[in-house]
Structure 1
């Protein structure tokens, strides 16, 4: 940054300068937004970014300070404002026809820019990964390509432009999630080799990658990269739901192409899939490429294998000497080719996050030799639905129902994102992430009550197979109504979770069984907090109408109370962003006779 003595004080009272400071492009360069009480505030939370002491809230003062600093002696070299702020310099020189500015030598910037050699831009979306709190909604980054990307296939030499939370130390998942929600981490931009990011996302985390080639010109890509230099080591506050990776990249795209409006669509939350959709709607996408994860590739190779052949895959992955077994050699060559390739992929999948091991490397080498002698047919991985083709992330709900003969209307809002019965296109079967869901009921006598307030409910029902044995799990917490002692409903607070397994029964049916635990504060219980052990099992069926779920769950409390529920939910997918859901529940409890609740709910997915 500039020496303190060269930071100019705001002295801009010229109306023309004031109008220029209100130009949308200058506002974008300073990352300004309209303040809650009027005026301006910058998203940048680092005073080193500003040349004026009032620059974080006064665009005109920052503009005046920048113009003054651009006239500093060229002898400052790399410390000169023109070297520190190349994007500002370019824009002001063009807008004000500044031909007589000093010409400092910007050696550091020139070397950095020449190394990146920006020519075109790709928006990369690593798909959602439920087993990581920071990745459960997916992620976005930009790939900056050189001019020979297509002719020489140099994507692995490109750079990845990423914005993310800067974490010092080893915070656990709960602390990470809390600090991410509350802005407890600073956010930084980083340019790293794309090959590193590709390894991290598609291999270490087994995430599919979607690459959206943008139609930005070389000049637009270069303009954006110049601004990235201005943000080098500059800190922003980082929030999971709004000021996150996706929102920051939208700001950069607004720098690249003046006039495109992307961030205004996200005043409250910026879910990555919604931001990808916004980029497409703005006409910025030229082409879409899909890179399946190692897990998807392994599943595709495993699909045509018989159970006996899968047993050979497991044996070869553990002991490559089984290649010499006469029983294996007796198999038809085409089947051996498939088995060997599946074993090699299984071995790579297992080693994704493991330390390098010489015995594993030797097994891989022997399998590769066998594959080279008897190659399998090319692997074909079916491309799933585009992530942005799924429903939008916020959901408004309007329902009507009856609880033991008492009619009610129900009104709901969910800030994000998807449950097991929601419209499925663009989402995996068995994945649920719900954040901040509110439901209010209005009964016949105009009695209103809070029915539930879920802070978060996450379910990852990943099916097991002969080759892959993932755990299924769920966690949730918030407020909900449960049957009370006198036939009414009691509002309780709870934290619950569970773990178990899931299995595919055909292509469209998923069965699951989990052991669960629950902590509950209930006014009908003597202890302040009661603990329960229980179960949760059921079936999800993807049918022609939509999604059907049958579930049974039970909680057995240390107070002696036992609460069990049978539920059926069928969603009709009326359109991409409209669903109709029939729900029926029967609850058994020691406090009362069995209770029946049936409802019909219209769900409107609208950001």
Structure 2
């Protein structure tokens, strides 16, 4: 059978349709028409100039649709099968009457993939930041292609991931540098959702949020067809902008009239796309249908732990300390339901510590004891997932980029204007919504200081990272190390603003959390610097980070540094900063820093995003 090539009502000429925005999106062209398409695989563009010329690619695509299948090469996919999304749009919108009748082609591979995936709706999944991997500190986005019918297992849904193609055992420093400067290929890949659920939620212990999209069945069909087109094709990977968040957003924009992220974005992070999804509209309605929290195993354990009574917590601790000896007298005296609650909680405990403990034989033995005990108890769940009200979806967090301006006084005798810019993401005095409250993750933080005569660069932090506190696992007497890393350029001190140094510094230590919003810490570290002064120093610091109500935070820090051989001490440094968030995107900060000189500052921060 041949498909008709007659003109549909409202059909456009190839010349006219080639400038259609949706056609350009289908070819992954940037908004800037002078730039080539993002896909670097030659096979994706059928025209020799198809990466730049939408009309040439449209004509080459139409020609491919009319070709007869080559019986001498049955393994070669026909144009209609390679590009089902192009086929759908072209046959709906382009006048093909002058080309004749389209051949009917049986696209077995594509139809098999569609039947296996059974795609009825789409969701964007956000995996929270992971400090154990430099590329994952900002979080990660991927698509979940949902099957039809409530009886289908969610874990068996197909998922679509975008990521760099990285060699195994790649050096982390090389990985970061190549990722920033475009040293990797990247691409989309599909696999079942349970693999991502296991990797992020069970192994890396990262929470996820599912943003289900409210799309028509026709647009779901178009996106599914286009996903087939891009699978296996390569892109250039850039960690800062052309990353997972960027290309997941651009894929979805195929069926949206407005971009999820600005076309002129210089950097893109996953939380910015999450904000775009929450704010986007689709055919006059919100794009989002609902948002679902998918807790990691560690979050589930903390949820279960909160539901235990003090007696149940104590008995569970006794069982852990005695290698799961269920002959324990206190345990045996409990009602059966309470025994079930403790056993179910201990299963979650085992699931978490197997990611943190290397002695597999002990873990397996204790898990077998748990299983035997559970089989003795009546069936049915005794403890419910109560949710975690402290966990907030990423779109609720503050915007990532910052402008600042303010006033500064040095030694009570000289006044300055200050101004600054930070690319991303948050510091440890920022709002704690949708992030770790005791962490700092900043890239490209620049500050200038200006007097009547000139403007000087006060600092340029390329990176400023710290993780002062990570919640421990219940019943384990552990306190993970606090650490920090910072590198860049800064004035040597406030007494000599023209004396600059390039530096790298790091600290490691311990912290103690007291109350819900307060943390004390002590750290030892070192700093190497070169410029107007060259030196290597060691230092110790004590600090306090606490909340002052719902909108204010304070940080106090005392540091003493000395030369590496301890032959000379530097002046001690006292630092305090108070932050008050008076509007969703605005902060007022007071700063006092005393060392060789004393600086008092007041500045305003404005947060924004693309």
CA change 1:218–1:469 in 2 (3 A) is farther
Quick one: distance in 1 between partners of 2:147 and 2:359? 32
TM-score (norm 2): 0.88
1:296-346 per-position Cα deviation (integer Å, ceiling 9, x unaligned): 222233346689976754553465443223355457877766554443322
| Unmatched tracts of structure 2, length 5 or more | 1-11, 282-286
CA change 1:407–1:361 in 2 (3 A) is same
The offset of 1:347, in angstroms, is: 1.7
The offset of 1:357, in angstroms, is: 3.8
1:212-269 per-position Cα deviation (integer Å, ceiling 9, x unaligned): 11101222122112111111211001111211111111111122x2524224355211
Quick one: distance in 1 between partners of 2:315 and 2:264? 51
**Greater shift in the superposed pair: 201-210 or 455-464:** 455-464
Helix, strand or coil: the match of 1:41?
coil
1:101-129 per-position Cα deviation (integer Å, ceiling 9, x unaligned): 11122111111111111110111111112
Conserved? CA contact 2:552–2:579, under 8 Å = yes
| Corresponding residue of 1:30 | 27
2:86 maps to 1:88: yes
Task: From 446, 449, 454, give the equivalent of 1:447.
Answer: 454
Task: From 317, 326, 329, give the equivalent of 2:329.
Answer: 326
Conserved? CA contact 1:202–1:208, under 8 Å = yes
Quick one: distance in 2 between partners of 1:140 and 1:67? 34
Task: From 349, 364, 376, give the equivalent of 1:361.
Answer: 364
| Corresponding residue of 1:4 | none
| Corresponding residue of 2:397 | 390
| Unmatched tracts of structure 1, length 5 or more | 1-14, 588-593
Task: From 564, 567, 592, give the equivalent of 2:572.
Answer: 564
CA change 1:196–1:447 in 2 (3 A) is same
**Greater shift in the superposed pair: 332-341 or 416-425:** 332-341
Quick one: distance in 2 between partners of 1:564 and 1:110? 70
Helix, strand or coil: the match of 2:572?
strand
TM-score (norm 1): 0.89
Helix, strand or coil: the match of 1:316?
helix
| Corresponding residue of 2:199 | 200
The offset of 1:388, in angstroms, is: 0.8
Task: From 435, 446, 449, give the equivalent of 1:438.
Answer: 446
| Corresponding residue of 1:378 | 384
CA change 1:533–1:304 in 2 (3 A) is farther
Helix, strand or coil: the match of 2:577?
strand
Quick one: distance in 2 between partners of 1:321 and 1:292? 26
Task: From 544, 547, 560, give the equivalent of 1:554.
Answer: 560
Helix, strand or coil: the match of 1:458?
strand
**Greater shift in the superposed pair: 320-329 or 279-288:** 320-329
Quick one: distance in 1 between partners of 2:334 and 2:356? 33
Conserved? CA contact 1:423–1:579, under 8 Å = no
Conserved? CA contact 2:460–2:490, under 8 Å = yes
2:608 maps to 1:606: yes
Conserved? CA contact 1:184–1:238, under 8 Å = yes
1:9-55 per-position Cα deviation (integer Å, ceiling 9, x unaligned): xxxxxx943332111011101111144xx634111122221111111
Task: From 32, 38, 41, give the equivalent of 2:36.
Answer: 41
Conserved? CA contact 2:315–2:330, under 8 Å = no
Quick one: distance in 2 between partners of 1:407 and 1:321? 66
| Corresponding residue of 1:500 | 509
Task: From 50, 59, 63, give the equivalent of 2:54.
Answer: 59
Residues paired across the two proteins, number: 576
Quick one: distance in 2 between partners of 1:258 and 1:429? 35
Please give the root-mean-square deviation of Cα atoms over the aligned residues, in Å. Answer: 2.5
Quick one: distance in 1 between partners of 2:503 and 2:354? 38
